[in-house]
Chain A
Amino acid sequence: MKDISLPHLNYAALAPMLILFGVACVGVLVDAFAPRKARYPIQLVVALVGLIAAFVAVVLRAGKVTAENAITAAGAVSVDKPALFLQGTLIVLGAVALLLIGERALERGGPFVAQAAITVGSDADQRQAARESGATEVFPLTIFSLSGMLLFVAANDLLTMFVALEVFSLPLYLLCALARRRRLISQEAALKYFLLGAYASAFFLFGLALLYGFAGGITFAKINESAQNGTGNITLLYAGLALVSIGLLFKAAAVPFHVWTPDVYQGAPTPVTSLMAACTKVAAFGGLLRVLYAGFDRVHWDYSPIIAAIAVLTMLVGSILAVTQTDIKRLLAYSSIANAGYLLVGVLGNSALGLSSVMFYLVAYGFTVIAAFAVITLVRDADGEATHLSRWAGLGRRSPFYATVFTVILLSFAGIPLTSGFTSKFAVFSAAGGGDQSWLVIVGVVSSMILAFPYLRVVVMMWLSEPGEQTPSVSLPGMLTSAALVIGVVITIFVGVAPQPLLHLTSEAANFIR
């Protein structure tokens, strides 16, 4: 038996993950030792400083990364250019979502419940709903989740990827259950998410086992090499790839593994929904891109038609179901599903162009979707957020400014030129067109047209309906939500008007190192 020796660790490459992990641990300690009143400001500052430090570490590393020094930790982690780009994206999007999570100006104590374990509706629950400010554990939970995502997009073998998947999923399950209002549906959402997430993880794990059987190893390099040499049992290869993909497609919310999305998006506290819609999407597609591009590049022609079929289903089901939604959060959930379909179309570009276009899309979509949820947190009445669409009628008369902002966001979702929605759709569709997937592009455009209908219906409702008794007013946002909203909208328009800098960045970064 050989001695186990510590593998070489490139700390500069691992720094962003280590910083976030450390900050999360500090956050737990703060909750344990800091006085109750001081926790919130300390947590907020620690989390934001940690994110900034991690971002700086990513930027510093991005200047030095090469094909030789990308892989570290005994081949378990590959901090290559796409990984760094996605990590940077995750950190920035996570920071913007954290601003929403940390907002306490909109309602007393913030959007989170103080003690989630108290029975809903009991006397104790009513007391805490009225008085106590929200649990500050949400900050370390968010940071834990983000650190898991950072590892997920940099994982160079399937086992690391699985561990990272669980690290980022478990805090999210918890976060979903912590809504201050409508606690029952929040808890239901968390439970559903947890059960189905565990189910999907099992598929992933089983796939991992089959692939080990095929290649005799779990690193992408090994799998790729075996697939190239034609050694091993190819039934294991395909069954394994299918099962691993299912695990990832679940997180990406692709049909038919999307079923959790509407319920969870609706039930979770809106800031957490924005975190899931932006960051989970980035992590899931980052992982999917790495598995398909770095691990299974050789069997590209075999998996393409199946992924394409899933993409078509995802685009159509997402957009068609969005048509009849009556709740704005569910509407955005289905829109998120359809967007997963567009991203899959980009993935099938299967080239550096496909990779860069998907990364571009993730950035553009992430900022817009956070801004959308930020507006949703503002439209509220005495019972909290007013998410039923009928309540949004006439909002343009009541609050023209926020209605305008939301209109811009919806136009971007619909892919109208001069918004990021247009440039990003254009990027993925042209990547797919370049990869001989023109028919997918046609389906994508048809789906976009269908999806434009529910978006425009909201616009029409906001502007062309008379405000009713029921129309809530828009609360004045606090500094944090304002900042998140401004960042989201400015980037939505900037990437729409001048996409070149971001395109340049993504095409620079589009090269996986196994």
Chain B
Amino acid sequence: MQTLIPLLVAIPLASAAILLLGGRLTDRWGHWLGVLAPMASFVLGLIAFFKLADLPVDARAYSTQLWNFIDSGSLHVGFGLLFDPLSAVFVLLITGVGSLIHLYAVGYMSHDEGRRRFFGYFNLFVAAMLLLVLGNNYVMLYLGWEGVGLASYLLISFWYNRNSAATAGKKAFLMNRVGDAGFAIGIFLMFATLGTTQYTEVFAGVAKLSTGTVLMMGLLLLLGACGKSGQFPLQSWLPDAMEGPTPVSALIHAATMVTAGVYLIARSNPIFSANATLQTVVVSVGALTLLIGCVIGCAKDDIKRVLAWSTVSQIGYMFLGVGLGGGAYALAIIHLLAHGFFKANMFLGAGSVMHGMNDQTDIRRFGGLRKYMPVTWLTFMMGWLAIIGIPPLSGFFTKDPIIEAAFNRPGWTGWLFGGVALLGAGLTAFYMTRLFVLTFHGPKRWTEDIEHPHESPWIMTIPLIFLAIGSVVAGFMMKTSVVTWLTPVLDPTGAEDEVHRITNVTGAILSVAITVVGAGIAYMLFRRGTALVEQPAGPVVTAARNNLYADAFNVAVFEKPGNWLTRGLVFLDYRGVDGLVNSLAAIVGGGSGRLRRLQNGFVRSYALSMLTGALLVVGAFLMVRLG
């Protein structure tokens, strides 16, 4: 374990360094190195996982400190790693799904000139993400957090000569800064009140803190989590992030990085469980976001945007889960893992469709692709059935328990959040079915330039098949095993006070029923295709098409005043600061010019000035003493 855990991070990091520093020398074989690195980490992760499983339940945590990271005054932060059940499942998700997506990317990026650079960034992302989940203190988490933010920025703007990609990268980066700043202040608050950032010490100290402090700390962490995970009010960057290459969308903006917020809250469960108000806030954020994601997802026509909004909405479910606390922490994590499979599957499937359709992304111009892309069709179908929660696919086993847990929250809020979650399930079924039917079934509505769409090469379909298998079986396999496995980290106690409004069976029947209704409506509406261009629509659909005016809100409230402020400051800088500086410089220069004349080159003048100086000095000395 001593060498195994650091190696997990070091291998992809070294590979990234070789690819990015090696330059063109590595062009020919670089992508294979890039694929091997996460695979090697996956194998090591698997070995570490089994070693951890061999230990008794109480001892399942391996913590190590590699070196002193920051040692300044009373602030001591070690470069420490922690491998416990929670990190272990994340390591396997990141490296497992990551390896498959890397493999897929070899095919997907094969015509791209920047493939080596792409794999360099991709490996950098894997290393940073592993660091994020393996740190044993909040500073390490933050280090990985910023690392994945950087990789995300680089990869969204990967095609930097496209204006939209460059803008999307900046948008993601800026919105993440908002969250990151909150997270950072949260860590400062921890250090200020508890004097440490180590997980174990922070969690042990939470009980001693006042309610207000815990609330503040939790809200700041939540702000960070919302930024990274695209939750309300920082959700609008995530769909724009689809400007990056599709493997990026699959790995970073669906399966792993965007779930870092869920990881943060789950990891900090002692803080969040300590304050009921905090939990209500998290639940509200989750419920609101899942609804926003569903509503907008219904109105979008871009295959990747729909999937992006569905990601926002599914992460909303996870936030709902971690917000409910108690046993629902583990439910959120298994939903996260299952989502990692089926969403990566669908994104890669979308990439495969785009690959065969000249990079077309508009679902109104697809249709009837089932015949031409059988593997993509079948694997995408598994993802579709999994996300809408048809038994016995994985979504059913992971999403339904969250809906039930929401209903069982005490008080009237249980009805509210449960209802929202159930409604979300119906909407999810609707828009995902719309997506699936419009893409693979119905009449062909292709643009003229496409004559014969083709199935993707094996290097892209093999990962699809693996992920499809994962989408089918993951939920059932994880439903009890992973929940038990996570018990040492995510203590399910504290949920005794929940009411039992709804049983497993009723919940399952209810949600499957609403899912079938939603999917049925969508199928009826779209089985014959749809209009080729956007149609005029009522206020609700228009609002949804405009992302519920979140971007407009940001522009009006932040961007415009920001611009005014900038202009004001620029004006102040030109007229005020520069004016002051320039006039000072003019004074200095003028003084210099005048003083220069004293240096006239005549020894007699020099001697006179020395004499004057001497008289002044002697006079001053005598004045000081006698005067």
Contacts and interface: CB of A to CB of B under 8 A. Distances in A.
Nearest to B614: A246
A305 interface: yes
Interface in B586-611: 588-589, 591-593, 595-596, 599, 601, 603, 605-607, 609-610
A238 B622 contact: yes
Most chain A beta-carbon contacts within 10 A, residue among B591, B610, B625: B610
A320 interface: yes
Contact of A246 (B589, B605, B617, B625): B617
A323 B589 contact: yes
Given A196-B606, A235-B626, A323 B592 contact: yes
Given A242-B618, A256-B609, A305 B624 contact: yes
Given A246-B614, A256-B610, A257-B613, A238 B595 contact: no
Nearest to B591: A320
Given A257-B610, A259-B610, A317 B595 contact: yes
A321 to B, nearest CB: 5
A195 B604 CA distance: 10
Given A235-B626, A242-B618, A302-B621, A263 B607 contact: no
B40 to A, nearest CB: 38
Nearest to A255: B613
Contacts of B618: 239, 242-243, 246
A154 interface: no
A260 interface: yes
A28 to B, nearest CB: 30
Contacts of A450: 588
A262 B610 CA distance: 15
B57 interface: no
Contacts of B612: 256
A320 B592 CA distance: 5
Nearest to A203: B614
Nearest to A250: B610
Contacts of A191: 603
Contacts of B613: 246, 255-257
B570 interface: no
A309 interface: yes
B620 interface: yes
B585 interface: yes
Contacts of A245: 617
Contact of B625 (A238, A250, A255): A238
Interface string A220-260: 00000000000000110011011101100010000111011
A260 B606 contact: yes
Contact of A302 (B588, B592, B606, B624): B624
Interface residues of B, number: 28
Nearest to A263: B601
B606 A192 contact: yes
Contacts of B588: 320, 323, 450, 453
Given A192-B606, A196-B607, A321 B595 contact: yes
Given A196-B607, A256-B612, A306 B617 contact: yes
Contacts of B617: 242, 245-246, 306, 310
A199 B610 contact: yes
Nearest to A194: B603
Contact of B620 (A203, A259, A260, A306): A306
A324 B596 contact: yes
A321 B596 contact: yes
Contacts of A200: 610
A303 interface: yes
Most chain B beta-carbon contacts within 10 A, residue among A192, A256, A309: A256
Contacts of A322: 592
B623 to A, nearest CB: 9
Contacts of A235: 622, 625-626
A291 to B, nearest CB: 14
Contacts of A238: 621-622, 624-626
Contacts of B620: 242, 306, 309
Contacts of B589: 323-324
Nearest to A313: B613
A316 to B, nearest CB: 9
A234 B627 CA distance: 13
Interface in A446-503: 450, 453
A322 to B, nearest CB: 8
Contact of A259 (B585, B596, B599, B621): B599
Contacts of A196: 603, 606-607, 610
Nearest to A306: B620
B624 A324 contact: no
A333 to B, nearest CB: 10
A114 B50 CA distance: 87
Nearest to B611: A199
B425 to A, nearest CB: 59
Contacts of A234: 625
Interface string A405-430: 00000000000000000000000000
A306 B610 contact: no
Interface in A166-208: 191-192, 195-196, 199-200, 203
Nearest to A260: B606
A434 B50 CA distance: 61
Contacts of A302: 621, 624-625
Most chain A beta-carbon contacts within 10 A, residue among B592, B605, B609: B592
Contacts of A317: 595
A281 to B, nearest CB: 19
A231 B134 CA distance: 77
Contacts of B610: 196, 199-200, 246, 250, 256-257, 259
26 contacts: A196-B603, A196-B607, A196-B610, A199-B607, A199-B610, A235-B622, A235-B625, A238-B624, A238-B625, A239-B622, A242-B617, A246-B614, A246-B617, A246-B618, A255-B613, A256-B609, A257-B610, A259-B605, A259-B606, A259-B610, A262-B599, A303-B624, A306-B617, A320-B595, A321-B592, A324-B593
Q: Which 10 A-B pairs have the closest CB atoms?
A: A256-B613, A259-B606, A242-B621, A324-B592, A238-B621, A242-B618, A323-B592, A320-B592, A306-B620, A238-B625
Given A257-B610, A306-B617, A324-B596, 11 more contacts: A192-B603, A196-B607, A200-B610, A203-B614, A238-B621, A239-B621, A256-B610, A259-B606, A320-B591, A324-B592, A324-B593
Interface of A: 191-192, 195-196, 199-200, 203, 234-235, 238-239, 241-243, 245-246, 250, 255-257, 259-260, 262-263, 302-303, 305-306, 309-310, 317, 320-324, 450, 453
